[in-house]
C-alpha cells in the first residue's frame, strides 16, 4: 500500500472533485447546438421550432448528386440500414433536417460542419464511432486536445479511400502536420514506411491510446499502441525481442526500446541513437552509485579490440542461454 | 556458402513464393469475376420471373470511360452483374546499375533488376448494396516479382453482416553494413585480415499476415475474430566469443552461420455488447504462440591445420591475438594455422524456444452519464517461454584455459505476468470547459530459471604443447592415477574451468508502474483553446539478476602441480592444502560462506554452493517518482490556419538507467496555413531536451527537429513542393572504460581518473582506467523538392529530389596505444557520422488510350561518405559509398 502514499491523496481528491462537480452541478440544459458550436450565441432560441427528421429520400430531392457521387458508395451508406432515424443517412451526421427543408435550404442543417469547431465536429463523429475499439480514446487524445478534427484527416464525401475515408494516403497524410518526422524516413536506416511496408498507424493510434504515459516521459504525445500482451508495440513485429527471457537486459523491458533506438530513422545502423555502439553501452555500463548496470571488466580493453560490444554480446535484447547475452 | 550464394539462394526462393502469391491473387480475381457473372445470370433469371424487381439497375458490361474517348479520363469501372468493378494492373521492368558498395545499397535500398508487378488493384461495390457475398470489396498490392517490399491488402464488407480486412506483407530484410560489429583489425596484425563483409549479415524474409473479421458490426452484439501470423526466416551471420562455457570469456571470436527462423501466431476472439444505452462492453481473449528454431555453426573455417583439418582462427587479428604467430605457412591454400594457436575446429549451437502467452482483456466505453465520457480496460497476461533443448558444442584450442572442447546443455523457462489497467474520463463541465483524468496501471514480473550442465574437455598437452590436433579427453583415474602428474592426465592450468558443472540460475525482474494525468481544457473562443495538466508517475523496479547455484567438479591432473591442480576455480586455495575432506568458501572480503568444497577419493574436488559468477551486487529495488507539468494551446483563427503548441516539463527523483532522464522538456509546435486554395505552408518544431545531470553521470541529451514545407498547385498542370528540415541530436555522459597504455598525451577531457575504480567488478587486473565525458553529436540538413508538370493533357512529368546531409562528431574509444593519442582520429571509421545521401528521381506517365498508360521512371540513390572510413593503420575495409541507378518502365491498364 505504500505505493499509494503521497500521490494517492491528490488522485482521490481530484476524483472526488470531479465526481462532486458531476453530482452537484445543476447545469442548465444545453442544446446540441451549444455543444457543437462552443458559443452561447449559437444556442437555439426557445421560440425556434424543434427540427425533426425527414429522411434521406427528402435530402435527395435537392442533393441527388451528393448522394449519388459522394455518399452512396461510401461506408456511411450502411447507416441507412439503421433503425433509429437519428443515425440514418444524411441526418445521421447533419442532424434532423426539417427546418433546413422548410426554409428551402436557407437554414443550415443542425450540424453544419463547415461552421463547427474542431472539437464539436469530433464529438459529432464520436456519437457513432467512439464505440469502435480504435476510436475509444479519441476524446482524451492529443489530437483532440489540439483541435485536430476528424475531418482534418477524413473526408466523408470526397475521399478516394472507400475504407477509411482518408483525405490522403499514409504516410503523406501524417507528414502533412508532422514535417519533422518525414526526413527520418529518408535516412539510410529507417523503418520502411515510405516503401509501404509499415504504416504510421501500425505503431501509433491517431485516435489516442491508453499506453502512453506508461512507456516513457513524453510518451503520451506519441499515442503509441501496445502489444497484444500489454507490452511495447515494437515486439509486435520484432517478435524475437519479445521474450520473456530468463536473462533480461533490464532497460529493454523497463524503459523501452527508445533508450537505445530512434524508431523512425537514423543515420546510425540499427537506428541506434549514437554512431559507436560502445558509447551507447558505456553510457550505462559505467559503475554508478544508484545504477545496477555493471561496469565493464578490465579485459574489455578499448585500446585494442572489441570495436563493438555487440560483436560478442550478440543477444543484447535478452537471452535464454547466457547472462552476458552471448548466445 | 558465402553471403552472395546465400543471397542468390533466397532470391530464388522468393521468386517462387512471389509467383505463388500472384497466382493466388489472380485466382481470387478470377473467382470474383466468375461469382459476379454467375450472380448476373441468377439475377437475369430472377428478373425474367419477377418483373416487379426494378431496384437493380440493368447490368452493363460497358465502362463509362469507353464512350468518352479521352485517354486522360479516370476510369469509372465496369458493371458486372450487381457490381461495379474497377481495377488496374501495372507491370514492367526495372533496370538496375549499382556501383560501389553493393552490400550498403542492398541494406539501404535493395531494389534490384528484373520484371515486376508494380501494382494492382481491384475494387467492386454492389450497385444495390445487396451483394451475394459482399457489398464492397477492395484488394490492392504492389512489389511482386522481387522487390524488397510486397504488400497485398484486402477489405470486404457486407452491410450488417461482416467487415473483413486482410493484409499480407513480405519484407526482404538484407543487412550488410559492416561498420557496426567489426573488430577493425589493424594493418600491423599478422596476418592483416580486414573484415570486409558484415559480421552480422542478414538475408531474411519477414512475412506478416493479418486477418480481422467483425461479425454483425451494426448489431448490439459484435463478434470479432483476428489472426496474425509472423514468420521471419533466412540465413544470417552472427558472432560468438563465448567458445568456452560457463566462463564465457571472449576467445577466438567465431563467425557463425545462423539459420534464423522465428514464427509467431496470434489469435484474438472478442465480443462487444451494447445493451446498455450509450455503453459498450467488450471482452477479448488473445493467445500468442511463439516458436523459434535457431541453429548456428561455425561459418569461417578459412585456415587449415598441418594435417589439412579446417580451422577457424576467429575474426579478430591483432598483434598477439589469436596468438603471436597465427600462421605457420601462408603459402598453402588455405593458409596453414599454427596448431598451438587459439582456434575453433567446430562450433554448433541450437535450441527451440517455445512460448504461449494468453491474455484476457475486459474494456468498456460509456457516455451513459450526461457529459461524462469514460473508457477503461483491464487485462491480464501470463505466459511462458520455454527452451528444453539448448545445446552448445565446441572443439578447438583455448590457450587461456588449456581446453580442447566443451559441451553445454541447458533448459530454461521464463514466465511473464502483466496486469494492465487503464481508465480515461472526460467531463464536459460546460460547452467550453472540460476536465480530463487518465489513470494507467502497468505491473509485470518476469521470474526465470535456467538449468545447465557443462562438460569441459582438456588435452594432455599444455601451453605450447597443446594443439588442436589432440583428442579432447576427460579425467580418468585409470589413465591418470595419483599423484596425477602422468603425461596421460588431462592438463589443468590454474585458470582452467571445472571439468564438470551443473546447476541453476534464477532471475527476477519486475516493475510496478502507476500513472495519473489530470487535465483541464478550456476553449476561450471557437478559435482558441488551451489545456493545462499534471501527471504523476510512480515506478518501482525490482531486479534480481543473478544467483547461480552450482555443483562443480575440479579434476586433478598436471605434470607440474598434480593433485593441487584440482584446487582451482571456486575451490582455489590461497595457501596450503587444507586438512580434512571439506573446506568452506567465502564471498570475497567477507566471512559469509557461499559454498563448500569436498575433496573426493579420486583426487577431484567438488564445489557446491553459489558460484563466483553470481553477481548479486547488482540486485536492486528502485523507486522512481516522476512529475510532469503539461500545457497545450491550439489556435484556429480561420479555417485556413491551424497551429498547436504542446509542452511537457518532467522531473524525477531517481533514474533506473544512467541515461534515463531525471529532467525532460518537450516542446512541440505544428502549424498549417493554406493562404489560397492552391498553396499551403506547413511547419513543425519538436524539441526534446533531457538530462540526468548528477555528478557521476553528467548525462545531457537533446533531439531538436525543425521542419518547413510548402506546396504550390496553381493549376492542374503544375505543382511544386519544397521542404527543408534540420535535425540536431546530441548526447553526452561521463563514461569509464579500460584502455591500456594511455597515461599521457590524452586529449582534453580524458584522463586516468580516480572516479572509475569500480570499472572491474570481477577483480581482474585492470589496465589503465580512463574516464571521459564522451559525447555524440549529429546534425542533419534535409531538403526535398518535387515538381509536377503536365505539358499536355495525356503526359505528366514529375521531377523530385531529396537529400540528407549528415555531419557529426563522437568520442572514439578505440585507439592503438603508441600510435596515436588523438581520439578524434583514432582507428575507427567515421561511418555514419558524416555522409551525403541523395535521391533524385524523374517519372513520366503517358496516358496512351482508354486507361492504358505508359510509365517510366529514373531513381538514383547516392551514398557518399564524407568522413575517413579507412584510417591509416587499419587493414583496408573497402568503400562504403554506392551509386545506384534504377530505370523502371511499365505499362498500366485500368478499367
What confidence tier does A56 reach under pLDDT thresholds 50, 70, 90? very high
Question: How confident is the model at residue B878, as a pLDDT?
Answer: 87
Q: Which of residues 453-492 of B touch A (CB under 8 A)?
A: none
In this predicted structure, what is the pLDDT of residue B115?
96
Mean pLDDT, residues B399-404 taken together: 76
Is residue B280 less than 8 Å (CB to CB) from chain A? Answer: yes
- Dist. CA B657–CA B541, nearest whole Å: 11
CB B853 within 8 A of CB B796: no
Helix (H) or strand (E) segment spanning residue B528: strand B528-554
Identify all chain B residues contacting A163, using CB atoms and an 8 Å cutoff. 138, 155, 165
Instruction: At B159, list the grid cell.
Output: 452491410
Average pLDDT in the A148-171 region?
91
* B391 inside 8 A of chain A by CB: no
Whose grid coordinates read 433509429?
A84
CA distance B859 to A195: 14
Task: Tell which wins on pLDDT, B13 or B541.
Answer: B541
pLDDT of A26: 35
The pLDDT of residue B34 is above 70: no
**How sure is the predictor about B820, in pLDDT bands with cuts at 50, 70 and 90?**
very low
Average pLDDT over residues B789-807: 95
Pick from B120-129, B463-472, B682-691, B749-758: least confident: B749-758
Out of A27, A196, A251, whose CB is closest to B149?
Answer: A196
Contacts of B703 (CB under 8 A, 6+ apart): A262, B686, B687, B688, B727, B728, B729, B730
Distance CA A285, CA B759 (A): 9
Residue B827 has pLDDT above 80, yes or no: no
The percent of residues above 90 in pLDDT, for chain B, comes to 52
DSSP 8-state code for residue B527: S
DSSP-derived secondary structure letter, B832: G
CB-CB under 8 Å, A279 with B774: yes
Region B889-895 average pLDDT: 94
* Calpha distance B780→A183 (Å, rounded): 9
B608 has a pLDDT exceeding 70: yes
Using the predicted structure, report yes or no on whether residue B244 has a pLDDT greater than 60: no
Long-range contacts of B692-695 (CB under 8 A, 24+ apart): B692/B655, B692/B658, B692/B659, B692/B660, B692/B661, B692/B662, B692/B663, B693/B662, B693/B663, B694/A290, B694/B662
Whether chain A has a CB inside 8 Å of the CB on B689: the answer is no
- Cβ A244–B383 below 8 Å, yes or no? yes
Cβ distance of B766 and A298 shorter than 8 Å = yes
Residue B215 has pLDDT above 70, yes or no: yes
- Determine the Cα–Cα distance for residues A205 and A226; give it in Å rounded to an integer: 10
Distance, CA of B260 to chain centre: 14
Q: Across all residues in chain B, what is the average pLDDT?
A: 84
| Contact: A186, B837; criterion CB under 8 Å | yes
Q: What is the pLDDT of residue A122?
A: 93
Q: SS in 3 state form for chain A?
A: CHHHCCHHHHHHHHHHHHHHHHHHCCCCCCCHHHHHHCCHHHCCCCCCCCCCCCCHHHHHHHHHHHHHHHCCCCHHHHHHHCCCHHHCHHHHHHCCCHHHHHCCCCCCCCCCHHHCCHHHHHHHHHHHHCCCHHHCCHHHCHHHHCCCCHHHHECCCCCCCCCCCECCCCCHHHHCCCCCCHHHHHCCEECCCCCCCCCHHHHECCCCCCCHHHCCCCHHHHCECECCCCCEHHHHCCHHHCCCCCEECHHHHHCCHHHCECCCEECCHHHECCCCHHHHHHHHCCCCCCCCCCCCCCCCECCCCCCCHHHCCCCCCEECCCCCCCC
pLDDT beyond 70 at B713: yes
Q: Which helix (H) or strand (E) holds B4?
A: helix B3-49
Task: Please state the rounded mean pLDDT for residues B491-495.
Answer: 85
Alpha-carbon separation of residue B608 from B179, B583, B589 (angstroms): 44, 11, 20
Tell me if chain A has a CB within 8 Å of the CB of B708. yes
For chains A and B, count residue pairs whose Cβ atoms are closer than 8 Å.
Answer: 555
Determine, for residues B837 and A35 on separate chains, whether the beta-carbon distance falls below 8 Å.
no
The Cα B863–Cα B834 span in angstroms is: 11
- Sorted by sequence, the CB contacts under 8 Å of residue B350 that are 6+ apart come out as B294, B295, B296, B389, B390, B391
pLDDT of amino acid B130: 87
The residues, ordered by sequence, that sit 6+ positions from B775 with a Cβ below 8 Å of its Cβ are B730, B731, B732, B809, B810, B811
Mean pLDDT is highest, among A41-50, A113-122, B869-878, for A113-122
CB B295 within 8 A of CB B349: yes
For residue B180, pLDDT over 80 is answered with: yes
- pLDDT digits over A81-140, tens only? 888 888 899 999 999 999 999 999 899 999 999 888 888 999 999 999 988 888 988 988
Residue A219 pLDDT exceeds 80:
no
Least confident of B36-40, B111-115, B857-861: B36-40
- Name the closest residue on chain A to residue B760, using Cα atoms: A297
CB spacing of A303 vs B817 below 8 angstroms = yes
ipTM of this predicted complex?
A: 0.87
Q: How far apart are CA A210 and CA A216, in angstroms?
A: 13
Q: Taking residues B621-650, report their average pLDDT.
A: 90
Question: CB under 8 Å to A198, separation ≥6 — which residues?
Answer: A191, A192, A237
Q: Which of B343, B353, B352, B351 is nearest to B255 (CA)?
A: B343
pLDDT at A7 over 90: no
Model confidence at B27: pLDDT above 90: no
Question: Which residues of chain A does B832 touch, with a Cβ-Cβ cutoff of 8 Å?
Answer: 188-189, 266-269, 275
Give the residue from chain B lying closest to A3, CA to CA: B538
Q: Is the pLDDT of residue B192 over 90?
A: no
Residue with cell 463547415: A114
- The owner of cell 566443451 is B406
Q: Given this model, what pLDDT does residue B711 score?
A: 92
Contact B442 A259 (CB under 8 A): no
Closest CA to B877 of B185, B113, B282: B185
Dist CA B425 CA B47 (whole Å): 55
Predicted local distance difference test score (pLDDT) of residue B48: 38
A131/B280 CB distance under 8 A: yes
The helix/strand/coil state of B471 is coil
Helix, coil or strand: residue B418: strand
**Are residues B88 and B894 in contact, defined by beta-carbon separation less than 8 angstroms?**
yes
Distances (CA, A) of B429 to A30, A148, B22, B436, B484: 11, 21, 57, 10, 89
Window B:10-29, CB contacts with A under 8 Å: none
C-alpha A181/C-alpha B244 separation (Å) is 46
**pLDDT tier at B635, thresholds 50, 70, 90:** very high
Helix (H, G, I), strand (E, B) or coil at B626: strand
Which of B149, B541, B646 has its CB closest to that of A221? Answer: B646
Which chain A residue's Cα is nearest to B547? A323
Q: In terms of CA atoms, which chain A residue is nearest residue B426?
A: A140
H or E stretch at B46:
helix B3-49
- Residue B663: burial class (beta carbons within 10 Å; 0-12, 13-18, 19+): middle
Cα(B280)–Cα(B376) distance, integer angstroms: 11
Question: Where is average pLDDT lowest: B16-20, B604-608, B698-702?
Answer: B16-20
Contact (Cβ atoms closer than 8 angstroms) between residue B887 and residue B841: no
Instruction: Give residue A3's pLDDT.
Output: 38
Give the pLDDT of residue B110. Answer: 95
B783 three-class SS: strand
Question: For position B118, what pLDDT does the model report?
Answer: 95
Q: What is the pLDDT of residue B579?
A: 67
Helix (H, G, I), strand (E, B) or coil at B564: helix
Give the DSSP letter of residue B463. G
Contact assignment for B230 to A297 by CB distance below 8 Å: no
pLDDT of the residue at B72: 58
Burial class (CB in 10 A: 0-12, 13-18, 19+), B619: middle
Whether residues B814 and A117 touch (CB distance < 8 A) is answered with no
Average pLDDT over residues B171-199: 88
Give the gap in angstroms from C-alpha B310 to the nearest C-alpha of chain A.
23
Q: Is B220 on the interface with A (CB under 8 A)?
A: no
Question: Does B319 or B98 have the greater pLDDT score?
Answer: B98
Give CA B170 to chain center in angstroms. 16
Q: For the residues B240-252, what does the mean pLDDT come to? A: 49
Non-local (6+) Cβ contacts of A269 within 8 A are A189, B177, B179, B180, B831, B832
Question: Would you call B446 and A253 a contact, using CB atoms and an 8 Å cutoff?
Answer: yes
Strands B202-215 and B162-175: antiparallel
Which candidate, B237, B228, B176, B238, places its Cα nearest to that of B207?
Answer: B228
- Nearest by CB: B526 against A39, A237, A289: A39
Residue keyed to cell 491480464:
B380
| B55 contact A CB<8A | no
A302, A317, A318, A325: which to substitute to probe chain B, counting the most B Cβ within 10 Å? Answer: A302
Amino acid at each position: 500500500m505504500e505505493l499509494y502514499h503521497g500521490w494517492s491523496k491528490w488522485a482521490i481528491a481530484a476524483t472526488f472533485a470531479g465526481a462532486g462537480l458531476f453530482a452537484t452541478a445543476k447545469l442548465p440544459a444545453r442544446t446540441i447546438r451549444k455543444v457543437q458550436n462552443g458559443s452561447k450565441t449559437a444556442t437555439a432560441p426557445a421560440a425556434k421550432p424543434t427540427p425533426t427528421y425527414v429522411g434521406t429520400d427528402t435530402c435527395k430531392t435537392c442533393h441527388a448528386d451528393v448522394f449519388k457521387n459522394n455518399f452512396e458508395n461510401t461506408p456511411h451508406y450502411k447507416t441507412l440500414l439503421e433503425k433509429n432515424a437519428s443515425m440514418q443517412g444524411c441526418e445521421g451526421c447533419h442532424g434532423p433536417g426539417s427546418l433546413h427543408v422548410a426554409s428551402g435550404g436557407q437554414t443550415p442543417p443542425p450540424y453544419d460542419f463547415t461552421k463547427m469547431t474542431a472539437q464539436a465536429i469530433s464529438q459529432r463523429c464520436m456519437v457513432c464511432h467512439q464505440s469502435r475499439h480504435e476510436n475509444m480514446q479519441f476524446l482524451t487524445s492529443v489530437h483532440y486536445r489540439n483541435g485536430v478534427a476528424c475531418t482534418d484527416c477524413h473526408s466523408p464525401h470526397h475521399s478516394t479511400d472507400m475504407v477509411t475515408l482518408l483525405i490522403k494516403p499514409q504516410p503523406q497524410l501524417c507528414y502533412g502536420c508532422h514535417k519533422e518526422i518525414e526526413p527520418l524516413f529518408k535516412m539510410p536506416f529507417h523503418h520502411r514506411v515510405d516503401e509501404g511496408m509499415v504504416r504510421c498507424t501500425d505503431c501509433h493510434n491517431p485516435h489516442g491510446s491508453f499506453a502512453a504515459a506508461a512507456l516513457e516521459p513524453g510518451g503520451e504525445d506519441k499515442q503509441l499502441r501496445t502489444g497484444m500482451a500489454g507490452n511495447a508495440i515494437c515486439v509486435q513485429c520484432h517478435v524475437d525481442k519479445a521474450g520473456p527471457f530468463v536473462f533480461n537486459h533490464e532497460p529493454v523491458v523497463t524503459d523501452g526500446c527508445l533508450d537505445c533506438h530512434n524508431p523512425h530513422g537514423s543515420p546510425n545502423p540499427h537506428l541506434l541513437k549514437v554512431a559507436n555502439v560502445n558509447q551507447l553501452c558505456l553510457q550505462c555500463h559505467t559503475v554508478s552509485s544508484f545504477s545496477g548496470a555493471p561496469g565493464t571488466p578490465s579485459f574489455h580493453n578499448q585500446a585494442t579490440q572489441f570495436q563493438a560490444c555487440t560483436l560478442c554480446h550478440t543477444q543484447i535484447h535478452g537471452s535464454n542461454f547466457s547472462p552476458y547475452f552471448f548466445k | 556458402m558465402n553471403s552472395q550464394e546465400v543471397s542468390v539462394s533466397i532470391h530464388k526462393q522468393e521468386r517462387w513464393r512471389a509467383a505463388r502469391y500472384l497466382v493466388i491473387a489472380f485466382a481470387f480475381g478470377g473467382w470474383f469475376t466468375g461469382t459476379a457473372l454467375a450472380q448476373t445470370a441468377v439475377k437475369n433469371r430472377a428478373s425474367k420471373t419477377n418483373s416487379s424487381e426494378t431496384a437493380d439497375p440493368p447490368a452493363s458490361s460497358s465502362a463509362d470511360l469507353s464512350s468518352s474517348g479521352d485517354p486522360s479520363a479516370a476510369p469509372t469501372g465496369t458493371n458486372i452483374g450487381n457490381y461495379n468493378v474497377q481495377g488496374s494492373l501495372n507491370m514492367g521492368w526495372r533496370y538496375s546499375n549499382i556501383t560501389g558498395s553493393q552490400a550498403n545499397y542492398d541494406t539501404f535500398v535493395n531494389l534490384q533488376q528484373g520484371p515486376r508487378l508494380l501494382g494492382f488493384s481491384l475494387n467492386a461495390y454492389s450497385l444495390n448494396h445487396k451483394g451475394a457475398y459482399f457489398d464492397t470489396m477492395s484488394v490492392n498490392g504492389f512489389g511482386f516479382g522481387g522487390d524488397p517490399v510486397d504488400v497485398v491488402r484486402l477489405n470486404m464488407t457486407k452491410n450488417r453482416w461482416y467487415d473483413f480486412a486482410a493484409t499480407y506483407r513480405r519484407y526482404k530484410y538484407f543487412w550488410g553494413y559492416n561498420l557496426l560489429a567489426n573488430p577493425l583489425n589493424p594493418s600491423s596484425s599478422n596476418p592483416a585480415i580486414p573484415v570486409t563483409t558484415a559480421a552480422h549479415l542478414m538475408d531474411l524474409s519477414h512475412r506478416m499476415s493479418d486477418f480481422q473479421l467483425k461479425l454483425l458490426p451494426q448489431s448490439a452484439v459484435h463478434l470479432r475474430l483476428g489472426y496474425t501470423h509472423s514468420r521471419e526466416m533466412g540465413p544470417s551471420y552472427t558472432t560468438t566469443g563465448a567458445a568456452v562455457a560457463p566462463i564465457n570469456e571472449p576467445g577466438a571470436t567465431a563467425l557463425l552461420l545462423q539459420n534464423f527462423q522465428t514464427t509467431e501466431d496470434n489469435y484474438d476472439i472478442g465480443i462487444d455488447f451494447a445493451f446498455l444505452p450509450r455503453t459498450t462492453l467488450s471482452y477479448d481473449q488473445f493467445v500468442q504462440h511463439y516458436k523459434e528454431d535457431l541453429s548456428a555453426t561455425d561459418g569461417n573455417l578459412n585456415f587449415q591445420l598441418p594435417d589439412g583439418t579446417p580451422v577457424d582462427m576467429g575474426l579478430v587479428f591483432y598483434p598477439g591475438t589469436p596468438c603471436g604467430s597465427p600462421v605457420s605457412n601462408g603459402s598453402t591454400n588455405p593458409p596453414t594455422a599454427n596448431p598451438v594457436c587459439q582456434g575453433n575446429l567446430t562450433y554448433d549451437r541450437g535450441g527451440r524456444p517455445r512460448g504461449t502467452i494468453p491474455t484476457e482483456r475486459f474494456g468498456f466505453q460509456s457516455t451513459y452519464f450526461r457529459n461524462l465520457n469514460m473508457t477503461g480496460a483491464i487485462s491480464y497476461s501470463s505466459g511462458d517461454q520455454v527452451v528444453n533443448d539448448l545445446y552448445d558444442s565446441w572443439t578447438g584450442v583455448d590457450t587461456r584455459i588449456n581446453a580442447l572442447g566443451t559441451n553445454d546443455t541447458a533448459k530454461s523457462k521464463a514466465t511473464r505476468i502483466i496486469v494492465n489497467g487503464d481508465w480515461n474520463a472526460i467531463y464536459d463541465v460546460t460547452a467550453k470547459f472540460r476536465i480530463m483524468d487518465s489513470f494507467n496501471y502497468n505491473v509485470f514480473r518476469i521470474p526465470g530459471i535456467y538449468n545447465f550442465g557443462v562438460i569441459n574437455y582438456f588435452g594432455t598437452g599444455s601451453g605450447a604443447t597443446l594443439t588442436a590436433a589432440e583428442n579432447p579427453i576427460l579425467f580418468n583415474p585409470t589413465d591418470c592415477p595419483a599423484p596425477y602428474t602422468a603425461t596421460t592426465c588431462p592438463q589443468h592450468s590454474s585458470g582452467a574451468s571445472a571439468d564438470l558443472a551443473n546447476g541453476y540460475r534464477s532471475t527476477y525482474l519486475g516493475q510496478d508502474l502507476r500513472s495519473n494525468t489530470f487535465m483541464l481544457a478550456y476553449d476561450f473562443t471557437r478559435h482558441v483553446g488551451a489545456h493545462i495538466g499534471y501527471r504523476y508517475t510512480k515506478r518501482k523496479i525490482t531486479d534480481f539478476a543473478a544467483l547461480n547455484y552450482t555443483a562443480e567438479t575440479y579434476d586433478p591432473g598436471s605434470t607440474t602441480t598434480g593433485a593441487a591442480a584440482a584446487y582451482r576455480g571456486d575451490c582455489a586455495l590461497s595457501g596450503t592444502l587444507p586438512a580434512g575432506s571439506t573446506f568452506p568458501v567465502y564471498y570475497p572480503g567477507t566471512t559469509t560462506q557461499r559454498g563448500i568444497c569436498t575433496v573426493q577419493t579420486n583426487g577431484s574436488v567438488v564445489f557446491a554452493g553459489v558460484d563466483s559468477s553470481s553477481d548479486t551486487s547488482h540486485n536492486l529495488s528502485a523507486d522512481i517518482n516522476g512529475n510532469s507539468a503539461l500545457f497545450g494551446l491550439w489556435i484556429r483563427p480561420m479555417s485556413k490556419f491551424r497551429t498547436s503548441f504542446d509542452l511537457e516539463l518532467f522531473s524525477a527523483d531517481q533514474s533506473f538507467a544512467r541515461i534515463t532522464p531525471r529532467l525532460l522538456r518537450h516542446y512541440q509546435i505544428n502549424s498549417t496555413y493554406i493562404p489560397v486554395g492552391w498553396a499551403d505552408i506547413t511547419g513543425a518544431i519538436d524539441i526534446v531536451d533531457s538530462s540526468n545531470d548528477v555528478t557521476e553521470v553528467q548525462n545531457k541529451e537533446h533531439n531538436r527537429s525543425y521542419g518547413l514545407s510548402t506546396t504550390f498547385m496553381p493549376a492542374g498542370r503544375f505543382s511544386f513542393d519544397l521542404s527543408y528540415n534540420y535535425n540536431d541530436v546530441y548526447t553526452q555522459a561521463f563514461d569509464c572504460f579500460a584502455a591500456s597504455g594511455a597515461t599521457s598525451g590524452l586529449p582534453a577531457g580524458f584522463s586516468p581518473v580516480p572516479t572509475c575504480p569500480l570499472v572491474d567488478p570481477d577483480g581482474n587486473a585492470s589496465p589503465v582506467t580512463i574516464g571521459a565525458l564522451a559525447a555524440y553529436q549529429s546534425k542533419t540538413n534535409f531538403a526535398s523538392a518535387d515538381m509536377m508538370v503536365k505539358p499536355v493533357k495525356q503526359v505528366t512529368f514529375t521531377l523530385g529530389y531529396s537529400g540528407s546531409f549528415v555531419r557529426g562528431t563522437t568520442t572514439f574509444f578505440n585507439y592503438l596505444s603508441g600510435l596515436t593519442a588523438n581520439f578524434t582520429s583514432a582507428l575507427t571509421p567515421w561511418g555514419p557520422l558524416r555522409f551525403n545521401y541523395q535521391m533524385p528521381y524523374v517519372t513520366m506517365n503517358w496516358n496512351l488510350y482508354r486507361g492504358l498508360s505508359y510509365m517510366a521512371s529514373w531513381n538514383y540513390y547516392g551514398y557518399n561518405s564524407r568522413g575517413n572510413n579507412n584510417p591509416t593503420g587499419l587493414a583496408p575495409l573497402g568503400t562504403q559509398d554506392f551509386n545506384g541507378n534504377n530505370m523502371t518502365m511499365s505499362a498500366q491498364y485500368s478499367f
